[in-house]
Homo-oligomer: A and B are copies of this chain.
Amino acid sequence: MSSFNVELKKVVDDSYEIEIGYELSNQLVEDLEKGLVGKIKRFAVITDSNVRDLYAKPICEKLIHSGFLVDMFVFPAGEKSKTRETKAKLEDAMLEKGYRRDCCVIAIGGGVVSDIAGFLAGTYGRGVPFINYATTLLAAADASIGGKTAVDTPLATNLIGLFNQPKKVYIDIACWKTLPDRQMRSGMAETIKHACMASMDMFEFIEENLDDIMNFKKFACEYITENNCNIKYQVVMKDEKESGLREILNLGHTVGRAIETVSEYKLLHGEALAIGMAAEVLLSARLGYMSEEEAQRVIDLYKKTGLPTEIPDYIDREELVHKLYTDKKVRDGKLRFVLQKGIGDIVEYTPGVYARPIEEDLAREIIMEL
C-alpha cells in the first residue's frame, strides 16, 4: 500500500461589485466593453416570460448593437419553473445554439431567474462566468449577496444547487415600477427584517420614508438597497459556508416558512414572513428581549407596508405548530428560534449560537394569539 498526496491549496478571489441605480443597462454594456468578463464575446441571456419583453429584450438589443453575440433563453415565469428540468431545457437550448465554454450567462429577472441561471452557469462547461441583473426588490434585498443558487425538487426547495458568485450584480431600481404591487410589498418584508436584525437607523428610515419607497423615489430606494446589501454582506461574509451567524437571516422564518407551506403557497414568501416576524417579536417580547412597544412598532411597520401580520383563518393552527418541526434549525427534536433584541439587534443565545430552544407550548401560545 502506498499513498499519494494531491496538494491543492490556493487563493481564490470571488470578489465582485454590486451596482445600484436607475436604468443600468448602458452601464452593463459599457462594463462588458471594458472587459468585465475578459475576452468573452458570446452571451446567453436567461430570463423569464414576464421579464423578457420588459427588460431582457431591450438589453439584448443594446448588447447586439455593441457587437456582442447574444441569444435569449426564456422560461415560464414563476417558482414552479425553478426545477432541474428547466435547467436542462435551457442547457439543451444553449448547446443547440453552439454555446461551449467560452461564454457568459447573464440573468435578467428576479430571484427565480438568478437562482436558475447562477446554478446553470456554475455547471455549464464546469463553470462559465455569470452576471446578475436583478429586477425585483426581493432579488435586490436578498438574492444578490451570498452566492446561493439552487432549484427546487418535488421533495425539497432550494436543496440542489451551488455556491456560485456572480462577476457583477446590477440592481436596477427603475425595474421595480413594473413589479406587481403584491410583489413589491412582499419584497419589503425581507427589507424590514434586515432592519429589525441589524439597524435601528434603517428601521426608522423605513418608518419615515415608506411612501417614497413605495413610489420608487431614487434616494429612498437606493438607501434601502445599500443597507440591504450591507447587512446581508456583513452576515454572509463572516460565514460563507453557513455555520452559525448566517442563522440570524432566519429571523421570522421559523413560523414564516411553516405558514407559507401550510397556506399551500397562497401566501407569497414575504407575506408569510411578515406573519412570521409578528410571531417572533411577540415571542421576543414574551421572553423579555424586547418591550411590548417595540414589538408593536415592528408589527405596525409591517401593517403599514400592507403586509399581513395575523394568521389567516383558513390556516389550521395545530397543523402549523406541527409544521414547525420541519424547520432546519430543529435539533434533537427541539424547536429553535432566532429572536430580536430590541429593534436592530439579535439575541446571541450562547457564544456563536443564535437560535434559541423554545418550548412547544410557548410557540403554540403565540400562534394561538396571532
User: Which residues of A are in contact with B by a Cβ distance under 8 Å?
Assistant: 1-22, 24, 27, 84, 88, 91-92, 95-96, 100-101, 119, 122-127, 145, 147-148, 150, 153-156, 159-163, 165, 222, 226, 229-230, 233, 237, 240, 328
Task: A5 to B20: give the CA distance in the assembly, Å.
Answer: 11
Contact of A127 among B125, B162, B222 (CB under 8 A): B162
User: Which of B15, B96, B159 interacts with A7 by CB under 8 Å?
Assistant: B15
Least CB separation from A124: chain B residue: B160
B24 touches A153 (CB 8 A): no
Kindly state the separation between the CA atoms of A365 and B281 in the bound complex, as whole angstroms.
80
A195 to B156, CA, bound (A): 47
When C-beta atoms are compared, the residue in chain B nearest to A12 turns out to be B12
| Shortest Cβ gap from A53 to chain B (Å) | 25
Known: A11-B11, A91-B153, A95-B156. Is A6-B237 also a contact (CB below 8 A)?
yes
Given A95-B156, A123-B123: A3 in contact with B17 (beta carbons within 8 A) = yes
Chain B: minimal CB distance from A19 (Å): 5
Bound Cα distance A340, B127 (Å): 31
Cβ-closest chain B residue relative to A4:
B18
* A24/B1 contact (C-beta < 8 A), A95-B159, A150-B126, A154-B92 known: yes
On whether the beta carbons of B161 and A126 are closer than 8 Å, the reply is yes
**Chain B residues with CB under 8 A of A156:** 95
Cα A148 to Cα B55 with chains together (Å): 36
Output the least CB separation between A218 and chain B (Å). 10
Nearest chain-B residue to A21 (Cβ)? B1
Contacting A155 at CB < 8 Å: which of B96, B155, B233? B96
Q: Which 7 A-B pairs have the closest CB atoms?
A: A1-B21, A8-B14, A95-B155, A4-B18, A9-B13, A4-B229, A12-B12
Chain B residue numbers with a CB within 8 Å of A91 are 153, 160
A-B contact pairs, 19 of them (CB 8 A): A1-B24, A3-B19, A3-B20, A4-B230, A5-B15, A6-B18, A6-B233, A6-B237, A7-B237, A8-B16, A8-B147, A8-B240, A9-B15, A95-B159, A100-B328, A122-B162, A123-B161, A126-B161, A127-B162
Question: What secondary structure prevails in chain A residues at the interface with B?
Answer: mixed
> Contacts of A10 on B, CB cut-off 8 Å?
11-12, 14, 240
Instruction: Tell me the complex Cα distance, A230–B20, Å.
Output: 49
Task: Give CA–CA (A101, B160) in the complex, Å.
Answer: 10
User: Given contacts A1-B27, A92-B154, A123-B162, could you give 12 more A-B pairs where the C-beta distance is less than 8 Å?
Assistant: A4-B17, A6-B16, A6-B233, A6-B237, A8-B14, A10-B240, A84-B84, A95-B156, A96-B155, A100-B159, A126-B150, A127-B163
Contacts of A20 in B (CB 8 A): 1-4
Among A8, A18, A101, the one with the most B-chain Cβ atoms within 10 Å of its Cβ is A8
The reply to whether B11 and A226 form a contact with Cβ atoms under 8 Å apart is no
Evaluate contact between B6 and A162: CB separation under 8 angstroms. no
A159-B6 contact, Cβ under 8 Å, with A91-B153, A92-B154, A153-B91: no
A237: chain B residues at CB < 8 Å are: 6-8
CA distance A340 to B79 in the complex (A): 53
How far is B159's CA from A95's CA once the two chains are assembled, in angstroms?
Answer: 9
> Which residue of chain B has the shortest Cβ distance to A159 in the bound complex?
B125
Report the minimal beta-carbon distance from A139 to chain B, rounded to whole angstroms: 15
Docked Cα-Cα span, A161 to B101, in Å, equals: 12
A95: chain B residues at CB < 8 Å are 153, 155-156, 159
Q: How many Å from the CB of A125 to the closest CB on chain B?
A: 6
**Residues in chain B near residue A13, CB distance under 8 A:** 8-9
